[in-house]
């Protein structure tokens, strides 16, 4: 992470507008794939911008909002993907993992059911146990 902060400092130093938090957040996203809390705190200090102002920018741009968590999970609960006990399994998993699971009614991959999407990657699973393993093993 040390190398990352050095790169971030250089990027910010070269910015024409030192208050352009969108550009800085996009840089963080490109480098890390998500927006960790400690990096946001660092950016807030470095740009001299209040944390709530930074959160406002994140909320304004869907691309940034999805990246607020490391794993943005969308699971299909549509007709082709739903399995008996899926809702209960999702509630159980929500207790065990520290990222949100959003339910969708179709991910456009019905032929490969059952489906979920983690960030920009699609996955298929056969049983609820497979689903649990997959989500618990996300790093």
| Cβ atoms within 10 Å, residue 28 | 22
Closer to ligand FES by CB, 32 or 77: give it. Answer: 77
Taking CB positions, which residue lies at the least distance from ligand FES?
A: 78
Q: Report the residue count for the chain.
A: 139
Is 80 among the residues that bind ligand FES (CB under 6 A)?
yes
> Would you list the DSSP string of 56-67?
HHHHH-HHHHHT
Tell me the closest approach of the beta carbon of residue 14 to ligand FES, in angstroms.
43
Is 73 among the residues that bind ligand FES (CB under 6 A)?
no
Q: Which residues pair with 124 in a beta bridge?
A: 115
- What is the pattern of x (binds ligand FES, CB under 6 A) and - over residues 98-137? --------xxxxx--x-x----------------------
Separation between Cα atoms, residue 126 and residue 108, nearest integer Å: 17
Is 71 among the residues that bind ligand FES (CB under 6 A)?
no
Task: Count Cα neighbours of 92 within 13 Å in the Cβ-side half-sphere.
Answer: 12
- List the one residue out of 122, 116, 121, 93 whose CA is nearest residue 104: 116
Tell me the closest approach of the beta carbon of residue 69 to ligand FES, in angstroms.
22
Positions in the binding site for ligand FES (CB under 6 A): 76, 78-81, 106-110, 113, 115
């Amino acid at each position: 992470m040390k190398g990352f902060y050095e790169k971030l400092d250089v990027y910010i130093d070269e910015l024409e507008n030192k208050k352009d938090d969108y550009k800085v957040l996009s840089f963080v996203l490109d480098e890390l794939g998500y927006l960790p809390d400690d990096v946001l705190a660092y950016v807030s200090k470095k740009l001299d911008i209040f944390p709530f102002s930074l959160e406002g920018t994140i909320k304004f741009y869907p691309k940034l909002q999805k990246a607020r968590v490391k794993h943005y999970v969308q699971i299909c609960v549509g007709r082709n993907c739903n399995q008996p006990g899926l809702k209960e399994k999702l509630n159980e998993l929500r207790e065990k993992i520290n990222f949100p699971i959003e339910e969708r009614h179709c991910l456009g991959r019905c032929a490969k059911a059952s489906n979920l999407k983690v960030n920009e990657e699609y996955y298929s699973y056969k049983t609820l146990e497979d689903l649990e393993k997959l989500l618990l093993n996300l790093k």
